[in-house]
Amino acid sequence: MSIILNGIGVSKGIAIGNAYVYVRATTRAKEYNVPAKYHQKEVERLHLAVTEASQQLHDVKQKIAQETPEDILAFIDSHLLMLEDPAFDEGATSIIKEFSCNAEWALQIQCDRLVQVFDEMEDPYLRTRKDDVIHVVQRIQHCLAEKPKSTSEPVRLKGRIVISDDLTPADTLVMQHEKVAAFVTEFGGPMSHTAILARNLGIPAIVGVHNARQLIHPTEKLIIDGHYGAVIGDPDARSLKHYRNLRQQNLKRKAEYKRLINKPAITLDGCPILIQGNIDRPEDIRNLKHFDDTGVGLYRTEMLFLENNQAVDEETQFKTYKRALFRLKGKPLTIRTLDLGADKEIRDALSQGPMAHNPAMGLRAIRRCLKEPENFIHQLCAIMRVAAYGDVKMMIPMMTSIDELEQISALVEHAKELLRQRKARFNDDIEIGAMIEVPAAALSSAIFAHRLDFLSIGTNDLIQYTLAIDRIDDEVNYLYNPLHPAVLQLIKITIDAGKSAKVPVSMCGEMASDPRYTRLLLGMGLDYFSIQANAILEVKDIINNSDIGVLRPKAEEILRCHDLQKIESLVDQLNR
């Protein structure tokens, strides 16, 4: 008898195959007393385990490096950096000596402390990074444990659908290397590493399927629908035939999309649409070029700071941004200034003061930069210096008022004067734009549009701030909906403000990367998409088969509607 389990579809696609229930070896730390004379020996055990864990990850990289893009291998690198971080080694060493306890228990205490810091963060991406801490600690714990050598034959995973509680980046990459068909996890959200890697690797994946390991039998035949988040167990012949047909259609479409690589995006009625990519680091440009030789509409610079866990000097920033620009080979680069704050802290996590009661509403992004102008000046100088070498724009995150814009303008002029005094080469006329991420900014977008060179709508934060919900919180994420009438109105206000002032308006949030919303956004007047690399070709295909003249009145009907269910129905009709 068939069963249907539901979760969150985080990577689209259809997969059909037999289940493989993956159970990672877990080592629950137990506490025991270690006399002072043995403290150093226990510390050495810890150091050896950290070294072994690091070697395991290097082995994973070596095994798959030849066929894996640099941007994907960066997930393994982030775990290697954690293993080198004193927060793991020195922190656990201090606990061993302070509490006279064993290395396993000290490491568990350190892990719990770090996880608590991440749990208090409001930013969805960073909060899910606590999984990295847990994964790295579990790997070290496993190395600390005495493990018998396995004599069993390795499991063949090719074509199997992996069912697990969660997966580490190393697990995911190794399984992709072995050509698994799909992933299903009991935990995780849209921003988890499993979700991000699955999307980048093009593997269907569903997360948040609670109790999947108990409800799915090993080797059971499964159907995975990554779009709707459905897992069908023991499917009947009719279901198998239906989904096999869907899978063939999807594969055919993907093959057809390849013809669009490096081709322009133009609607049926002749309107050119600009599509660019989003990146976190220069290495991501390699993956972007697999899909299109285009520019970058969003370069999130805070990742450089977070990965180094410290402020980055001007020269390092300049060289990093310049590397990104040169990899684009003449295509434009839009650099977003730092989006750091109470929930994106670069100091040692344990040295932080009390977390803000509501970090998302606190000192972050441009507010943080204006409060610490000396660091902001370094970034302004680095960006303007890079802009002397090509088409570079600067974008300010989380702008809310003209007063902030005045302060930014003054700091930009100050940075220019410093560069003149140093006789440094820089672009004195760099284009500056703002992210529209909060309702106040959207409602003030007409004013911003007349004072700035461009605007970019960040839908991730705009939706959360408008609806007052956290999209990775299991209790309320069902309320996260880009089609909420208030969200659509704010987007439309911003697009219209840009057209009135004759300045470009892009959208760089996840809504722009979701093909379901492409036609609606075209009908609303959006003509500049900045999206994740692997969504480019599908979005381009929809654009090339759309007529804005037909879409505009349908989008207007949707904007006049206040019933969410009806809006969703009208969007479905629009896509048919």
Let me know if 99 is exposed, middle or buried by CB neighbors in 10 A (0-12, 13-18, 19+). Answer: middle
pLDDT at 69 over 90: no
Which residue of the set 193, 369, 378, 381 is catalytic? 193
pLDDT band at 122 (very low <50, low <70, confident <90, very high): low
Q: CA of 38: how far to CAs of 48, 94, 557, in Å?
A: 16, 14, 75
pLDDT at 28 over 80: no
- The torsion defined by the Cα of 87, 91, 93 and 98, in degrees rounded to 10, comes to 180
pLDDT band at 287 (very low <50, low <70, confident <90, very high): confident
pLDDT for 113 equals 82
Q: Which residues lie below 8 Å from residue 419, measured CB to CB, with a gap of 6+?
A: 381, 384, 385, 426
pLDDT for 153 equals 47
Q: Which helix (H) or strand (E) holds 277?
A: strand 272-279
Residue 104: which of 137, 56, 79 has the closest Cα? 137
Q: Tell me whether strands 296-300 and 205-207 are parallel, antiparallel or unpaired.
A: unpaired
Q: What is the 3-state secondary structure (H, E, C) of 467-511?
A: HCCCCCCCCCHHHCCCCCHHHHHHHHHHHHHHHHHCCCEEECCHH
pLDDT at 169 over 90: no
pTM of the model as a whole? 0.72
Phi, psi at 226, each rounded to 5° = -70, -15
Which residue of the set 101, 111, 381, 508 is catalytic? 508
pLDDT, one tens digit per residue, over 315-363 is 999 999 999 999 999 999 999 998 865 445 555 433 344 445 555 566 6
pLDDT at 40 over 70: yes
pLDDT for 402 equals 93
Whether the CB-CB separation of 362 and 342 falls below 8 Å is answered with yes
Tokens of 558: 């949707």
**Angle (nearest 5°) at CA 207 between 202 and 210:** 155
Residue 115: count other Cβ atoms within 10 Å of its Cβ: 16
Phi, psi at 165, each rounded to 5° = -70, -45
Answer yes or no: 450 catalytic. Answer: no
**Angle (nearest 5°) at CA 542 between 540 and 544:** 70
pLDDT for 125 equals 56
pLDDT for 22 equals 85
pLDDT for 479 equals 75
Average pLDDT over all residues of the chain? 86
pLDDT for 65 equals 54
pLDDT at 114 over 60: yes
Least confident stretch, 72-86, 104-118, 386-400, 460-474 = 72-86
Q: How much of the chain, in percent, has pLDDT values that exceed 90?
A: 53
Tokens of 349: 């996590």
In the chain, what are the domains? 3-23+150-256 (3.50.30.10), 36-144 (1.10.274.10), 276-400+428-547 (3.20.20.60)
Q: How many helices (H) and strands (E) does the chain have?
A: 25, 17
Q: How much of the chain, in percent, has pLDDT values that exceed 70?
A: 86
pLDDT for 352 equals 47
Whether the CB-CB separation of 128 and 191 falls below 8 Å is answered with yes
Answer yes or no: 561 catalytic. Answer: no
pLDDT, one tens digit per residue, over 482-518 is 999 999 999 999 999 999 999 999 999 889 998 999 9
Mean pLDDT of 419-425: 97
pLDDT at 475 over 80: no
pLDDT band at 558 (very low <50, low <70, confident <90, very high): very high
pLDDT for 71 equals 59
Tokens of 120: 């208090």
Least confident stretch, 359-368, 464-473, 516-525 = 359-368
pLDDT band at 27 (very low <50, low <70, confident <90, very high): low
pLDDT for 349 equals 38
